[in-house]
Structure 1
Amino acid sequence: MKVDTHKVVTISYTMSDEQGSVLDSSDENGNLPYIHGTEFLAPGIEASLEGKSIGDTVDEHISADKAFGTYSDDLVFTINKKDINIDDTDLKKGLEFEAEVRGEIRYCLIEDVQEDKVVINANHPLAGVNIHFQAEVLAIRDATAEELDHGHVHDEHGHHHDH
């Protein structure tokens, strides 16, 4: 079986920047199961795994535009505090949250809190970073209908969360 659309693929991986600093790895977070072809992974990462078999390895340098996108100044903006749906006591620099930005759900970071305004950055934290991606394919199986319907991998015991 090969890595292809709608296959559940489990990988061990290390992702680092151009200087060799580890950004993320299965050593820290455990092996990663995902449904291939659902845009769970960055496009360049997913493309590097396409067609691989169990035991195959990947060692790719992936440009920022194919990884987590280029940095866009247009995704840094200032809004009035009253227009953000977060309690004033929770509004602080460094707070991460999800919000709809230009029609898509994005992770956002509060970069600054002023008297009546908040500066928000909706760029991916790794936007603009070229990455070195190393991985080994550990397992491949067909995704279940339930997994495809929900858009994520379920553990061997089935479904254990609310939607």
Structure 2
Amino acid sequence: MERAAQGDVVLVEYTGTLDDGTVFDHSEEPQEVTLGEGTINPAFEETLIGMAPGETKTVFLPAKKAYGPHKMRLVFRIRRKKLNLPEEPVPGGIARVSLENGKSSLVTIKEVSERWVVVDANHPLAGKDLTFSLTLMEIRRRA
């Protein structure tokens, strides 16, 4: 039986879940990956190497190996009028804010008051342990 090896191009389907079973991501279609190129999480590559088409394995990523810890220094207050939002901000919404370095960042709106908005610039999955189910669908070719 053919098994995936370093340098192979493989098709993979995946589902990502949180500790409570909530699905936060899944492949709509099989994703093409070249093993060894470093384009996916190293834990995924390690898991896929040696798998056969049709085989499914589970990968657990603790928060520090996924999106890192949730950093309180990335939660801050902004004057509402500085946000320049096209619509009324609501908790749980997403906004783009301008940073002092001239760049911009997407943030999650946490709290809204008359004058202030509390935003969180952490990745939405920061601080969360993640579990992925990986299914190797096909080994397309050897490099």
TM range (shorter): 0.5 to 0.7
Unaligned runs of 5+ in 1: 143-163
8 Å contact from structure 2 (residues 44, 59) kept in 1? no
Higher relative contact order (CA 8 A, sep 6+): 2
Q: Distance in 2 between matches of 1:74 and 1:84?
A: 19
8 Å contact from structure 1 (residues 4, 50) kept in 2? no
Q: Superposed, which structure 2 residues align to 1:2-81 within 5 Å?
A: 2=5, 10-19=11-20, 21-24=21-24, 26=26, 30-33=28-31, 43=41, 46-48=44-46, 51=49, 55=53, 56-81=55-80
Percent identity, aligned pairs only, is 22
| Partner in structure 2 of residue 149 of structure 1 | none
Map Cα deviations across residues 121-152 of structure 1 (whole Å, 9 max, x no partner): 1122221111221101224669xxxxxxxxxx
Q: Distance in 2 between matches of 1:108 and 1:96?
A: 6
**Which structure dedicates a bigger proportion of its chain to helix?**
1
From 87, 95, 104, give the equivalent of 2:93. 95
Q: Which moved more, 1:120-129 or 1:30-39?
A: 30-39
Q: Superposed, which structure 2 residues align to 1:100-111 within 5 Å?
A: 106-111=105-110
Q: Superposed, which structure 2 residues align to 1:143-162 within 5 Å?
A: none
Q: Distance in 2 between matches of 1:90 and 1:124?
A: 22
Equivalent residue of 1:83, what SS? helix
Structure showing greater radius of gyration is 2
Map Cα deviations across residues 16-64 of structure 1 (whole Å, 9 max, x no partner): 2334x132354xx52352666576x5x3554445646662543221110
CA RMSD in angstroms, aligned pairs only: 3.6
Unaligned runs of 5+ in 2: none
Change over 3 Å in CA distance of 1:10–1:123 after alignment to 2 = farther
- Letter paired with 1:33: Q
TM-score, length-normalised on structure 1? 0.60
8 Å contact from structure 2 (residues 60, 130) kept in 1? yes
